[in-house]
Amino acid sequence: MNDAPGPTLCVVVPCYRERPNVAPMIASLDVALAGIDWEVMFVDDDSPDGTADEVRRIALTDRRVRCLRRVGRRGLSSAVIEGALATSAEFVAVIDGDLQHDESRLPLMLDAVRGGADLAVGSRHVGDGDAAGLASPLRERLSATGIRLARMLARAPINDPMSGFFLMRRATFEALTPRLNGQGFKILLDLMLAARAPLRVVEIPYRFRPRQAGESKLDILVLVQFAGLLIDRALGGVVPLRFLAFALVGAFGMAVNLLVTLILRRAGVHFATAQTIGTIVAMIGNFEMNNRLTYRTIRLRGGAYWRGLVLFMLVCGLGAVANIGIARALYRGDTAGLAASAVGSAIGVVWNYAVSATLVWRAR
């Protein structure tokens, strides 16, 4: 029986396609955390480039290195949650796997939490910190927009609520876990919003470095998911975020359907034909948007994409039949036509969401 105590600090590294950065990350942590009992937990979302294999290769000769490989699950926030819950360390730090965060700031962050802070955040926007490592004007605009949105909801003063670089006690993290949304990429803000009382936050400045290898995961859809987190928090988590996204995509599809039908009618196409074409175009558009946004973390690719498209159209077709049937039944019962249509549409949306989640985008 091994009675050795667990490590003081676990550094959780959520990663996807970061194989070239694994060894440099471990070497950097070894230097930065000299004198601290630490371990690193790479949480890999089944990267096709062999990220998990590289972690295990190093772990064979370094017991501080651990790998948690997730199959059929994707997403930075959920990866961080699983990694933090899988360690016995007293403190948990989160750092991106792309080497853009400055690991040399970790001892200062650890001292801040030991000194009474609930949360130490690596910040690009205090002191001599900067965000020069953002690769493009688009990333700069996305980050700036996210920061403005986050500051409106954050319950504690913070200059960099979009940071993915922070440290806290594991016990604090675990206490907040049941109230976390767990979706998207911005786990820090999720933690702050989950706290019943404002967290005591200390920001440690750091310089955001340029990415040396791999590819950035930040795009416009990440900001959309981030906005979804804010909406979810504003609604108190009563309605599932994915259902909201699915319903919004469905509303967009209705607009597309109407627009295509109108254009074809003005071109002289028979109504039934125009409506059929509009419906098909809307279904294809809805599938693509749901695949890229609503189910981004389990996105269908290759042959699964085309099978999913056919199945989605069948599901939506049945949903449309149910929609019309229910609306007609209610209308015959002297219910106002608009109300009957609304009830039928609502039931159709719930049907499409439930069946699509079960059959089309089921976890693999």
Both 147 and 59 in one domain: the answer is: yes
Neighbours of 60 (CB within 10 A): 8
Mean predicted confidence (pLDDT) in 355-361: 81
pLDDT digits (tens, 9 = 90+) for 143-154: 666 666 666 666
Residue 167 CA, distance from chain mean position: 19
pLDDT of residue 160: 83
Q: In what order do the strands lie in the sheet with 38-44?
A: 65-69, 38-44, 9-15, 91-94, 166-169, 119-123, 201-205
Rounded Cα–Cα distance for residues 209 and 16 (Å): 19
Instruction: For residues 301 and 185, state if they share a domain.
Output: no
Do the Cβ atoms of 113 and 168 come closer than 8 Å?
yes
Chain centroid, CA 287 distance in Å: 19
Full-model pTM: 0.70
- Helix, strand, or coil here: 9? strand
pLDDT (0 to 100) of residue 364 = 46
Kindly state whether residues 82 and 204 are assigned to the same domain: yes
In a domain, 64, yes or no: yes
Kindly tell me if the per-residue pLDDT of 337 is higher than 50: no
Quote the CA–CA distance of 160 and 190 in Å, as a whole number.
13
Of the three residues 213, 234, 255, the one that is the final residue of a domain is 234
List, for residues 297-336, the tens digit of each pLDDT value.
778 888 889 999 998 888 887 766 655 555 455 555 444 4
Residue 112 has pLDDT above 80, yes or no: yes
Q: Could you read off the pLDDT of 8-17 as tens digits, one per residue? A: 999 999 999 9
116 plus 219 within the same structural domain: yes
Kindly report the length of the chain: 364
Contacts of 242 (CB under 8 A, 6+ apart): 183, 294, 295, 353, 357
Place of tokens 């020069």: 132
- The full DSSP string for 95-164 is --TTS-S-GGGHHHHHHHHHTT-SEEEEESSSTT-B-TT--SHHHHHHHHHHHHHHHHH-SS--S-TT--
pLDDT digits (tens, 9 = 90+) for 139-194: 566 666 666 666 666 666 788 887 889 999 999 999 999 988 777 667 888 898 88
Question: Residue 212: in which H helix or E strand, if any?
Answer: none
pLDDT digits (tens, 9 = 90+) for 231-245: 666 666 666 777 777
Residue-level pLDDT at 194 = 86
Question: Is the pLDDT reported for residue 134 higher than 70?
Answer: no
Which of 87-91, 283-287, 314-318 shows the lowest mean pLDDT across its residues? Answer: 314-318
Among 197, 218, 234, identify where a domain stops: 234
* % of the chain at pLDDT higher than 70: 73
Residues 66, 73: contact at Cβ < 8 Å? no
> Mean per-residue pLDDT for 275-288?
84
Question: Percentage of the chain with pLDDT > 90?
Answer: 35
Q: 310 and 328, same structural domain?
A: yes
For position 127, what pLDDT does the model report? 79
247 lies in the same domain as 229:
no
- Whether the predicted pLDDT of 215 surpasses 60: no
pLDDT at 128: 73
Pairwise pLDDT comparison (316 vs 113), residue with the higher score: 113
Write down the pLDDT at residue 335.
44
Residue 2 lies in a domain: no
Q: If you average pLDDT over residues 273-296, what whole number do you get?
A: 83
Asked if residue 263 and residue 168 are part of one domain, the reply reads no
In a domain, 3, yes or no: no
55 lies in the same domain as 182: yes
Q: Of 36-45, 103-112, 347-356, which range is least confident?
A: 347-356
Q: Are residues 295 and 226 in the same domain?
A: no
pLDDT recorded at residue 253: 80
pLDDT bucket at 110, cuts 50 / 70 / 90:
very high
Domains contained in the chain, number: 2
Using 50, 70 and 90 to split pLDDT, how confident is the model at 220?
low
| Distance (Å, whole) CA 15 – CA 96 | 7
Q: Is 294 a member of any domain?
A: yes
Residue 245 domain boundaries: 241-360
Q: What is the pLDDT of residue 334?
A: 47
Q: Are residues 76 and 218 in the same domain?
A: yes
Give a yes or no: residue 4 inside a domain. Answer: no
Q: What is the pLDDT of residues 240-265, one digit of tens each?
A: 777 777 888 888 888 887 788 888 88
Q: CATH number, domain at 183?
A: 3.90.550.10
Q: Are 193 and 69 in the same domain?
A: yes
Q: Which of 234, 252, 271 is the last residue of a domain?
A: 234
Token couple for 152: 């409106």
Report if residue 341 sits inside a domain: yes
Are residues 37 and 176 part of one domain? yes
Phi, psi of 34 (to 5 degrees): -60, 130
